[in-house]
Chains A and B, each alone.
Chain A
Amino acid sequence: MASNSKQWSSATPGYIIFLVDQSGSMNEPYPEKGNKANFTSMVINRTINELINVNMAGDKVKDRVFISIIGYGNPSINEIRSDYISKYAESPIRIETGKQKVSDGNGGLIEMDVQNPIWLEPTASQLTPMGSALEFAKKLVEGWMSKKPDNPAPVIINISDGLPYPDDEEQKSLKVSKEIMALSCSDGTPIIFNAHLGDSNSKCICPESIGELPDDQAKFLFEISSKVPDTYIDAAQKQALAVKANSKGFVSNADPETFIKFINFGSSGGSDKR
Chain B
Amino acid sequence: MKINIRGYITHKEAEKYSDCADRYAANTSNNHFAIADGVSKSFFPDYWADILVNEFVTHDLDKELSIENCQIVWLNKVADKVNAPDVKWYTKNAFIRQEPGLATFVGLRIEGGKWFASALGDSFLFFVPNGVKGFDEWIKLSSKPLPIVFDSFPDYYSSRNKQHGEIKRIEHSLVEGTFYLMTDALSEWVFDKQNKAIEEINEKWHNQEEFERSITELRLLNVLNNDDSAILIISVENDGENNLTYGDVEIQNLMELVEKEKDSEVETLVTQKETFVEEVKSSNLNKVSISDNLPIKKENQQIFSTEIKDEIELSQNAQVIFNKCLSVYGKSLKQMESIITSIGKFSKRMKISVEEQKKIKEKLKEYGISFKN
Q: Hey, which bits of chain A sit against chain B, CB under 8 A? A: 9-12, 49, 52-63, 66, 68, 79, 82, 84, 89, 95, 100, 102-103, 112-115, 117, 136, 139-140, 142-144, 146-147, 150, 271-274
A11 and B96: CB pair below 8 A? no
B41 at the interface (CB under 8 A from A): yes
Nearest residue in A to B276 (C-beta to C-beta)?
A143
User: Contacts A54-B41, A57-B45 hold; do A114 and B277 have CB atoms under 8 A apart?
Assistant: no
Q: Which B residues from 130 to 178 make CB contacts under 8 A with A?
A: 151-152
- Min CB gap B373→A, angstroms: 28
Question: For residue A56, which residues in chain B have a CB less than 8 angstroms away from its CB?
Answer: 90-91, 94
24 contacts between A and B (CB under 8 A): A9-B226, A10-B12, A10-B15, A11-B13, A11-B14, A52-B90, A58-B81, A58-B94, A59-B88, A62-B19, A79-B281, A95-B89, A100-B96, A102-B97, A115-B92, A136-B280, A143-B279, A143-B280, A143-B305, A146-B276, A146-B306, A147-B304, A271-B41, A274-B151
A146 and B94: CB pair below 8 A? no
Extra A-B contacts (6), CB below 8 Å, given A11-B226, A143-B280 = A10-B14, A57-B19, A57-B46, A59-B81, A62-B40, A144-B274
B281 and A115: CB pair below 8 A? no
B327 and A11: CB pair below 8 A? yes
B305 and A146: CB pair below 8 A? yes
Question: For residue A63, which residues in chain B have a CB less than 8 angstroms away from its CB?
Answer: 272
Question: For residue A9, which residues in chain B have a CB less than 8 angstroms away from its CB?
Answer: 12-14, 226
Question: For residue A60, which residues in chain B have a CB less than 8 angstroms away from its CB?
Answer: 19
Majority SS at the chain B contact face: loop
B283 at the interface (CB under 8 A from A): yes
A117 and B89: CB pair below 8 A? yes
A102 and B96: CB pair below 8 A? yes
B308 and A146: CB pair below 8 A? yes
- Min CB gap A215→B, angstroms: 33
- Min CB gap B158→A, angstroms: 14
Question: For residue B99, which residues in chain A have a CB less than 8 angstroms away from its CB?
Answer: 53
* In the complex, per-residue mask of B260-298: 1 if CB is within 8 Å of any chain A CB, else 0: 000000000000101011011101100000000001100
Question: For residue B41, which residues in chain A have a CB less than 8 angstroms away from its CB?
Answer: 54-55, 57, 271
Question: For residue A142, which residues in chain B have a CB less than 8 angstroms away from its CB?
Answer: 304-305
Of the four ranges (under 10, 10 to 19, 20 to 34, 35 or more), the interface on chain B belongs to 35 or more
Q: Which of A58, A66, A112 contacts B96 (CB 8 A)?
A: A112
Bound state CA distance, A10 and B332, in angstroms? Answer: 13
Q: Which of A53, A66, A68 contacts B90 (CB 8 A)?
A: A53
Q: Which of A53, A54, A273 has its CB near the most chain B CB atoms (within 10 A)?
A: A53
- Min CB gap A271→B, angstroms: 7
4 closest Cβ pairs, A-B complex: A143-B276, A11-B14, A143-B304, A58-B44
Nearest residue in A to B306 (C-beta to C-beta)?
A146
Question: For residue B38, which residues in chain A have a CB less than 8 angstroms away from its CB?
Answer: 57
Q: Which of B91, B96, B152, B274 contacts A82 (CB 8 A)?
A: B274
Bound state CA distance, A6 and B274, in angstroms? Answer: 20
Question: For residue A103, which residues in chain B have a CB less than 8 angstroms away from its CB?
Answer: 98
B323 at the interface (CB under 8 A from A): yes
Q: Which of B13, B98, B279 contacts A102 (CB 8 A)?
A: B98
Bound state CA distance, A86 and B60, in angstroms? Answer: 43
A58 and B97: CB pair below 8 A? no
Q: Which of B90, B151, B295 has its CB near the most chain A CB atoms (within 10 A)?
A: B90
Q: Which B residues from 205 to 242 make CB contacts under 8 A with A?
A: 226
* In the complex, per-residue mask of B86-129: 1 if CB is within 8 Å of any chain A CB, else 0: 01111111101111000000000000000000000000000000
Bound state CA distance, A54 and B42, in angstroms? Answer: 8
Question: For residue A114, which residues in chain B have a CB less than 8 angstroms away from its CB?
Answer: 93, 96-97
Q: Which of B14, B44, B92, B296 has its CB near the most chain A CB atoms (within 10 A)?
A: B14
A136 and B274: CB pair below 8 A? no
* In the complex, per-residue mask of B324-350: 1 if CB is within 8 Å of any chain A CB, else 0: 000110000000000000000000000
B15 and A62: CB pair below 8 A? yes
Bound state CA distance, A103 and B99, in angstroms? Answer: 11
A57 and B304: CB pair below 8 A? no
A10 and B281: CB pair below 8 A? no
User: Contacts A56-B90, A115-B89 hold; do A100 and B44 have CB atoms under 8 A apart?
Assistant: no
